[in-house]
Structure 1
Amino acid sequence: MALCLSAFAQAAPVSAATSSAAEANGVRVTITRDGPDWRADYVLDRDASAWAFYNSSDLNSSRQPWRPRDWAAMTPGVVLERVGDLDVLRMRDGSPMPRRISLSLSPRGDNLEADYPVLLFTDGSVALFTGAFDVFPIIRSDLEGLTADEIADSRRQGENARISWRDRAGPVLANGRRTEEGETHDSRAYVLFGQTRVKESDRLITVVDPELPVWIADSVETFAPRVIDHYAIKLGPGQTDRPTIMSTWYGPTRGTTNYGGSVLPGLIVMTFEGQELLSPSEDVLSENRWFIAHEAAHFWLGQTVRAERSRESWITEGGADLLAVRAMQALDPRFDAREVLQKEVDDCVRLGDKPVAGAGQRGDHRAYYACGAVLAMAAEALQHRATGGDWFDFLQPLIEDNRASGVLLRSAWLARLSSLSQDAALANDIDAFLDSGAPNAADFIGSLFDRAGVGYEREGERIVLPASAE
């Protein structure tokens, strides 16, 4: 059996730039489903030799582009093909592109590399990712000769498309509500076609595949609203008043057990597959709840406020991990917080000899989670020592104070820590650890925990949390 607990598209697709001009003009697209037929009608806003898709991703299985396989140009003379790393629309004879073009679509639910796939539900409902339709103009006719700088400059000329969504069979679910015709101007969302199971509460909408095993569906529909409520009570309003969770079922495939997903503004997407998921499993339930708790935390830490740059992802990823731990402890008495926190410490010892802020460039994204959680544990201990509070109490004023800007800076995080600590050098030492790493990460973490008041024991090069660690 191959077990895969995945978080697809962890590296978010590049979003099209927005501009004030886009409000008045910009590319417009109408997506229409008419029974088995799908089409996308584009109204382009300028003359160009070609138009390229911002999200030109490949299939995970074959590393081949999916779009030329699944989409086809209907407008005479227009072709859709791969040029370098880009999916491109252009005229077969090299002439300028017309302003109005139409494409036929054949949505398939394959996993994509660092991108958001089509979501297929077993009742025929389909959810499409809005960013898949964003395009940018290319003026140069010699596409094969485009340089990286020219492509980057062309990408800056575009903006998020204004997309209308229509289903001849009935309403679509867009922006968290059912509507006869949805409209989006957001490159990071899903729109649902079809009448698959939708359950609404005051704080959450859940969309569940009708064939998803009942024990999983019930867990999603009962646990997710509770964790959203918990965060809202502790941290105040999140990024959206009523987020959505979509859960799809890809069937009882033999030999693989696959469950995972990702988070978008106001939306958590989850996929499940595998024969072993037909029977209830406490391990799967716990991992599924953990996934929901971590991704839901991003509605506050990651969306209400975000890190200034990807190199500061330790703030959002490590912070969300500790939020999820504390939420799980409050909502699931069987959850083993010590096991999760010990793994965070172990992984940070393993990865912390190099700069945490440079982890993304090295491909060591785990360092953002593990070392970010270790720093959060220290901050929480300082909060507890100063006021008796916890990690929520450390974060809540940071989120509130930075709602307007939507950005939580490292300097603000460290200033909050310094306000709780009597150790004037602590913030500077953390700053150096983030930018330079520590020659011996275990020594650094031990010193950090000593200064903050986190209990542990030292076993050689291992920092061991006590059995009662909370």
Structure 2
Amino acid sequence: MRYLVLFFSLVSLLAIPAAAAQSGKADALVSVAPQEDGNWHVAYTFEEPQTALVFARSDNNYRSATWQLETEEARFGRVNDLDVIVFDDPAKEVSFSIVPVTSTLVADYTPFIPFGDGGLAIYEGQFALVPFESLEAVEEIEDGLPSVATEPLAMRIAISADTPIIVDGQPVEGNLQHEIAGDGTYIYLGDSEVEQFDSFTAILDASLPAWLGDRFAGDLQGIFAGLEALWGFELSEQATVFLASRGLTGKGMSNTGGALDNLLMMEVSGEALAEPDPNTLFYLQWFFAHEAVHLFQTDKDVTFASGEDAWIHEGAANTMAYNLIAAGLPDGGEKFLSSVYASAFEECVAALEAGPLETVGEREAFSANYACGDLIALATDGYLKRKTLYQFWDRLILNAVSMDDTEINRTLYFTTMQLLGATRAERTRIRDIVEEDLDDPREALTELLKTAGLNPQFDADGTLVKLDWPDYAAE
């Protein structure tokens, strides 16, 4: 079986606190419109005069090269690795001319996503601002913006377009004003066909190769139906799915995307898309299934702990997605699962050789959260003899909802394991992988899988070739 040269990125981020606009009133309005030169005009109007403002999403410094300040009485630049606007005197307006950045950012959402058929998706979260009393207050930030208690301004975005505008799955003609809540969402401008289904609305790039574009809405129906059956409920809000094509150039296939509230967004490109290929299809199905799992994980308004604990939700999403896609393959997905878990095992070993799982973010080895977290999710399922991974997550979510802080973190994870019957020794095996510098990561992972009843089998070269994978659909 031939496997793809595959490059992918999944975005998983700490949610920005949602600023509540009382009685629908916003603290600020940002108007966004294209200019004749290809740039975009971004104009902010504030209800109250502002002194200093920090862009809520400043981890990347692309604005320094692409945002040109147009307001003479203001200054704009990087302070403490944050994008900052400072006014000479408190002011109620500021504007920019910006180059629409369409390149993929590190651990963040693409600001502007072009569709091959001429459409465009704009990420509204890039415009969110956090107010500060002074530049000095910004300079005193020591541990990044998430460490600051100040919330973003309650903000609305205004867009006008000659083409249909789609936001939250709904088409709008002409003019749109939309509240930017939490991480924000994508707003689509263009003429792509909007397909409505019971569980989701799909906007698929018309320039996708026909072999993929003609079938993918149906594939998405199968993914959502499968997850609804496994989770035992339907999403409380209809999801929106965007699939944009970046063209057929480049080796293999490249894709990036993520989940935002009830939105799934993905961009794909590469020569592997030119002709029908089952491996390409499997990976795209898995990618969307992974992101769709996040919608079910957060349907009860729980939040994820990112950073050190990202392995919790990313690992489970991987396990659930792989199992769902494999169940639809002729051989039960044996070759597919053997391949992906051989890679996951080696990737996890390599990451743990450099330090514990909780530190992979510091080393920018983010994909280890998916690989190691997947193996941990399988082990969790194996340790809980009377519960499936889905039932464990149901209880995990219920426990989070019952607390003042609805965040799913490792403390809650291990407490829930204990409540459902996992022994201290079983929990310790997982904790050691997450928190300890292991003398022999390969042996530790192997023992984790063995003690969880997964019966790992290796070939003569030490490559993982088989596990006793759970079949949730049959349970």
On whether the aligned pair clears a TM of 0.5, the verdict is: yes
For residues 258-305 of structure 1, the C-alpha deviation after alignment (integer angstroms, 9 at most, x for no partner) is: 323222221221112234422222221121112112121111236654
Matches within 5 A, 1:57-456: 58=60, 65-67=61-63, 70-75=66-71, 77-78=73-74, 80-81=76-77, 85-90=81-86, 95-117=88-110, 118-140=112-134, 146-149=139-142, 152=145, 156-169=149-162, 171-180=164-173, 181-186=176-181, 187-237=183-233, 241-253=237-249, 257-301=253-297, 304=300, 305-333=302-330, 335=333, 336-352=336-352, 354-383=355-384, 386-387=385-386, 390-403=388-401, 406-418=406-418, 421=421, 423-456=423-456
Distance 1:154 1:435 in 2: 23
Aligned to 1:188, the other structure's residue is in SS state: coil
Distance (whole Å) between structure 1 residues aligned to residue 54 and residue 402 of structure 2: 34
CA contact (8 A) 1:138 1:154 kept: no
User: TM-score w.r.t. structure 1 length?
Assistant: 0.82
Q: How many residue pairs are counted as aligned between the two chains?
A: 455
Is the contact made by 1:240 and 1:266 (CA closer than 8 Å) also made in structure 2?
no
Q: What are the superposed Cα offsets for residues 99-119 of structure 1, whole Å, 9 maximum, x if unpaired?
A: 023444553422233332201
CA distance in 2, matches of 1:267, 1:431: 33
CA–CA distance in structure 2, aligned partners of residues 51 and 264 of structure 1:
24
SS where residue 109 of structure 1 aligns?
coil
- TM-aligned CA deviation for residue 50 of structure 1: 3.9
TM-score normalised by length of structure 2: 0.81
Partner of 1:56: 58
Q: CA RMSD in A?
A: 3.7
Compared CA separation, residues 236 and 149, structure 1 to 2 (3 A) = same
Q: 1:319 offset after TM fit, Å?
A: 0.8
**How far apart are 1:82 and its partner, in Å?**
5.2
Greater shift in the superposed pair: 219-228 or 170-179: 170-179
Q: Runs of 5+ in structure 1 lacking a partner?
A: 59-64
Q: 1:465 to 1:252 in 2, by over 3 A?
A: closer
Paired AA for residue 108 in structure 2:
D
Q: Tell me how far 1:177 sits from its aligned partner.
A: 1.6
Task: Report how far residue 230 of structure 1 moved.
Answer: 1.3
| CA spacing shift, 1:151–1:294, aligned 2, 3 Å | closer
CA, structure 1 residues 83+401, in 2 after alignment: closer, same or farther (shift >3 Å)? closer
List runs of 5+ in structure 2 lacking aligned partners: 471-475
Paired amino acid for 1:200? Q
Distance in 1 separating the partners of 2:305 and 2:80: 31
Contact 2:74-2:85 at 8 Å conserved across structures: yes
Instruction: For residue 328 of structure 1, report the CA deviation from its aligned partner.
Output: 0.8
Q: Which residue type is aligned with residue 204 of structure 1?
A: F
Percent pairwise identity: 21
